[in-house]
Amino acid sequence: MKNKMVCILNIFLFLIFFQAYSQESCKVLKSEISDKYIGKCKNGLAHGSGVAEGKDKYEGHFKYGLPDGKGKYTWSTGEVYEGYWKEGMRSGEGKYKYKKDGADSMRYGIWKEDLFVKKIEPRPYQVTMSRDIDRYSIRKMGNDNMVTLSLERVGGVESDVSELSYVSDNGLYREENRHYIYYQLRFPTTLKIRYTSTNKLKTFVTHPIFEVVITEPGSWMITLYN
């Protein structure tokens, strides 16, 4: 029994050492964020999702040691870029937040090889996840800073809902006539919705998930249909 415990302990210590060694040997090739890395690795290079820190900080996707894909980069001077990267450079759609004459400013558009090439209007909202939802509707109804959630089925209120989780990253919450409302919101706001329901024929259980980021202030109505 004692020998078995010693063997298990040795295996456990080996796994801890191996994990630590793997993290240390996983390199980031962008010098400004190469001091510390936690995340996925391939052939000794950061590859997949991860977080890298140095003078600056990057959180997002890597490819062969460089930011590549979607990610957030924060400079030591306070500027922030959120969007797409390619081979360590801003490439694709993204937003850049910075200070101009002491005031907050933002540049939103298309980047290519780290250069801003085209301005585009920010989307009022972006759906980041939709699973087990037949369809959805997102409408701006007015100017009050609030978001109302309605769950419906075949033209009526969805009555087969349980384990509802409706979460915003700010604001106050109330329920009113089977509507779920966040008010006094600050935008942009991220809303995450999860619940348990059944399919239309009520023959099996479903677990819908819906997540959206709303950037434009106003009174919004989200309707999910099952």
Q: Give, in order, the Cα–Cα distances in Å from 206 to each of 152, 158, 199.
A: 14, 13, 6
Domain boundary among 88, 119, 150: 119
Is 40 in the same domain as 92? yes
Mean pLDDT by 10 residues, the chain (226 residues): 52 46 74 97 96 98 97 96 96 93 90 96 90 94 96 75 94 94 94 92 91 95 93
Specify the pLDDT at position 22.
Answer: 41
Q: Is residue 190 part of a domain?
A: yes
Is 155 in the same domain as 203? yes
Specify the number of domains making up the chain: 2
Is 106 in the same domain as 141? no
Domain boundary among 95, 119, 143: 119
Specify the pLDDT at position 123.
Answer: 85
- The structure tokens listed for 69 are 């894909």
Integer Cα distance of 122 and 109 in angstroms: 8
Specify the pLDDT at position 16.
Answer: 45
Is 152 in the same domain as 84? no
Specify the pLDDT at position 4.
Answer: 54
Residue with tokens 């978001």: 147
Is 205 in the same domain as 165? yes
Domain boundary among 73, 94, 119: 119
- Maximum C-alpha span of the chain: 71
**171: region left, alpha or beta (phi > 0 left; psi from -120 to 50 alpha):** left
What domain range is 186 assigned to?
125-225
Q: pTM for the full model? A: 0.58
Closest by CA to 50, choosing from 32, 71, 30, 29, is: 71
Q: Is residue 20 part of a domain?
A: no
Is 131 in the same domain as 220? yes
Is 129 in the same domain as 220? yes
Is 96 in the same domain as 131? no
Question: Residue 74's Cα: distance from chain center in Å?
Answer: 16
Integer Cα distance of 195 and 60 in angstroms: 28
CATH number at 73 reads 2.20.110
Specify the pLDDT at position 8.
Answer: 53
